């Protein structure tokens, strides 16, 4: 969420940012919120004057009563009563105006970084760099669920009976690979200085609206009926929420955390949930990394975070590339984002396996995550990035480590988590 003071002083910058994100329908909101903010401040000013006058008159009433001037004192009391009625009206009006301002401000997109390429959607994202040589073997790579099925490692039919499309059972060596990847990713991040955390898997609505836009909330979150609780779509939601309404001492920054959780997503509006695939599903597990830091350090942490994911994938012999997300592909709270994509030998193209985002102070402003510095107090910056999300990671791993006879090589880094196995058949 943008600082209202910044919007008030720089309306054209905010409008141009909206145009850059191809959300022109939101342009009228800038002038609307400026007018509402003006009315709210005027209302507050009048209310403050009445409060100040009430205190002044109260002293006068006491003095008049002490002097025996009862009629004059009663006249002032009548005026105080009228002012109290007006003050109650103003306080209600101020509350309503501030609520309208907040609602609009939460729909106006955050100011994107100047380095972000301008584009309408993900088709205009820009490749930054490739890591590892993409290989197309001289034998056919089966569809990922067919690979898993040969190991008796997946049961989609039973999952459909139990939960519907978008769910799965993993078993045997495939399930073990899945768990090995999350455990390896956990240790990989701990070795890089991050603190391991397992967060709550449900969060309240004030945390949901603090970490994401209304559009994302509607498209992603599952609501627990009858309770103010939502299933998390990623552990970032819980992990950033951990710092809600806190004042962090500057010397305690940065907060660097890596978290494990199951993730639950409606995938509303998503295209191509494949009935027999596990590429886009309603439930999966993920290892995440989040950082809470000083504003001037967030660009440096942004680069460190996506590099962590690249480095991890390369230890598992998976070629990857990084993509700079264009303006139209950025969620409203994001300042800058880079996707990490893994190579698919079967499709002979890259596909997304993780996303790294710098949200500036947008989440911190909504959740009131503040920092106490030597000379001032300010909002922290928050960042997040996927370490691994095993269903997609599993697809990339199986395709890139498959041999012609159907066996799967286990890279050295993963062998301790697979009981020392070098290959599975």
The series of mean pLDDT values per 10 residues for the chain, 425 residues long, is: 93 97 97 96 90 72 67 71 82 94 94 97 96 94 95 94 92 96 97 97 95 84 94 95 97 97 80 62 94 98 97 96 97 96 95 96 96 95 95 94 96 96 96
CA distance 192 to 92: 52
CA 228 to chain centre: 19
The CATH class of the 4-105 domain is mainly alpha
pLDDT of residue 275: 44
Name the residue ranges covered by the structural domains of the chain: 4-105, 122-424
The full DSSP string for 411-422 is -GGGGGGGTT-S
Closest CA to 361 of 331, 330, 376, 382: 382
Q: Is there a cis peptide before residue 254, judged by omega within 30 degrees of 0?
A: yes
- Could you tell me the sign of the dihedral formed by the alpha carbons of 237, 243, 249, 251, in that order? negative
Residue whose token pair is 């909206």: 18
Pick the CATH number of 122-424 from 3.30.930.10, 3.20.20.450, 3.40.720.10, 3.60.9.10: 3.30.930.10
DSSP H/E element including 261: strand 255-264
Helices (H), 242-380: 298-315, 362-367
DSSP state of 140: P
pTM: 0.89
Q: Residue 87: its pLDDT value, please?
A: 85
* Three-state DSSP state, 155: strand
Helix 298-315 and helix 172-191, axial crossing angle in degrees, nearest 10: 140
Residue with the two structure tokens 């909101």: 29
Number of residues written out for the chain: 425
- Which of helix, strand or coil describes residue 334? coil
Give the model's pLDDT for residue 219: 82
- Residues 149-167, buried b or exposed e (16+ Cβ, 10 A)? bebebbbbeebeeeeeebb
Q: What is the bridge-based pairing of β-strands 423-424 and 381-388?
A: unpaired
How is 7-43 classified by DSSP, letter by letter?
HHH-HHHHHHHHHHTT-GGGHHHHHHHHHHHHHHHHH
Structure tokens at 146: 């067919």
Say what the pLDDT of residue 59 is: 63
β-strand partners of 145: none
Question: How far from 84 is each of 40, 42, 52, 98, 214, CA to CA, in Å?
Answer: 19, 18, 12, 21, 38
Per the DSSP assignment, residues forming a β-bridge with 321 are 130, 341
Whole-number pLDDT of residue 274: 47
pLDDT for residue 213: 82
CB atoms within 10 A of CB 55: 9
Residue 410, pLDDT score = 97
């Amino acid at each position: 969420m943008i600082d209202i003071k910044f919007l008030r002083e720089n309306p054209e910058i905010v409008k141009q940012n909206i145009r850059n994100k191809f959300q022109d329908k939101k342009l009228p909101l800038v002038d609307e919120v400026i007018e509402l903010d003006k009315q709210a401040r005027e209302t507050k000013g009048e209310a403050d004057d009445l409060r100040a006058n009430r205190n002044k008159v109260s002293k006068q009433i006491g003095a008049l009563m002490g002097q025996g001037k009862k009629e004059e004192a009663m006249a002032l009391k009548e005026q105080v009563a009228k002012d109290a009625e007006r003050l109650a009206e103003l306080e209600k009006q101020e509350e309503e105006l501030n609520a309208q301002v907040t609602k609009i401000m939460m729909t106006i997109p955050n100011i994107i970084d100047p380095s972000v390429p301008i584009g309408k959607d993900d088709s205009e994202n820009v490749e930054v760099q490739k890591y590892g040589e993409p290989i197309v073997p001289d034998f056919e790579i089966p569809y990922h669920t067919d690979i898993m099925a040969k190991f008796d490692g997946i049961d989609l039919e039973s999952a459909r009976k139990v939960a519907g499309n978008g769910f799965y059972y993993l078993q045997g060596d495939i399930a073990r690979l899945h768990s090995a990847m999350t455990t390896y990713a956990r240790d990989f991040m701990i070795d890089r200085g991050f603190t391991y955390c397992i967060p709550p898997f449900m969060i309240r609505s004030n945390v949901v609206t603090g970490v994401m836009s209304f559009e994302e909330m509607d498209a992603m979150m599952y609501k627990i009926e009858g309770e103010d609780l939502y299933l998390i779509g990623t552990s970032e939601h819980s992990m950033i929420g951990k710092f809600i309404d806190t004042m962090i001492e500057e010397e305690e920054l940065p907060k660097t955390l890596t978290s494990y959780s199951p993730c639950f997503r409606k995938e509303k509006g998503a295209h191509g949930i494949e009935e027999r695939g596990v590429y886009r599903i309603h439930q999966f597990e993920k290892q995440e990394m989040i950082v809470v830091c000083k504003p001037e350090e967030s660009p440096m942490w942004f680069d460190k975070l996506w590099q962590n994911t690249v480095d991890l994938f390369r230890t598992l012999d998976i070629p990857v590339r990084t993509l700079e997300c264009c303006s139209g592909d950025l969620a409203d709270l994001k300042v800058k984002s880079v996707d990490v994509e893994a190579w698919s030998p079967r499709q002979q193209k890259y596909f997304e396996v993780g996303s790294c985002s710098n949200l500036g102070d947008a989440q911190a402003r909504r959740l009131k995550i503040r920092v106490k510095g030597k000379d001032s107090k300010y909002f922290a910056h928050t960042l997040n990035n996927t370490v691994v999300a095993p269903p997609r990671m599993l697809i990339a791993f199986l395709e890139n480590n498959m041999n012609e006879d159907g066996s799967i090589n286990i890279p050295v880094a993963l062998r301790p988590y697979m009981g020392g196995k070098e290959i599975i058949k």
